[in-house]
Amino acid sequence: MASNHIQIVGGPSRETLFDALRLFKDRRFVSFDVLAEDMHRTGLTLSLVRVESIGVEDGSGDNWIVGVRDSRGEHHSLYFNTDRRTGAVLKSKFL
């Protein structure tokens, strides 16, 4: 059975992430480095995505639920920790 877990192993700082949302109209992009546990999805990348929303995950100021859209127009929901710059893809057509 294939795994449905995609980890984020690198991403933007908190300032860069929030700037991408603030400058959405100016088409500001960010990149996330991802690693899929399923060998068939190892080539998956979320590079140059537009941040559409940022929500507080736990109130710590480091954990966020981030809505992004990739260059193909696909929406992805991410959990992202801006202190460790790691997280997971929560919802995506790839899951």
CA angle 74, 75, 79 (to 5 degrees): 140
Question: Whole-model pTM?
Answer: 0.82
Would you list the domain boundaries of the chain? 6-91
User: What are the CA-CA distances from residue 79 to residues 28, 29, 47, 58, 67 (Å)?
Assistant: 20, 18, 16, 11, 9
pLDDT reading at 39 higher than 60: no
Which pLDDT does position 2 carry in this prediction?
43
- For 64-82, the pLDDT digits (tens) are 999 999 888 889 999 999 9
Q: Is the pLDDT of residue 60 over 90?
A: yes
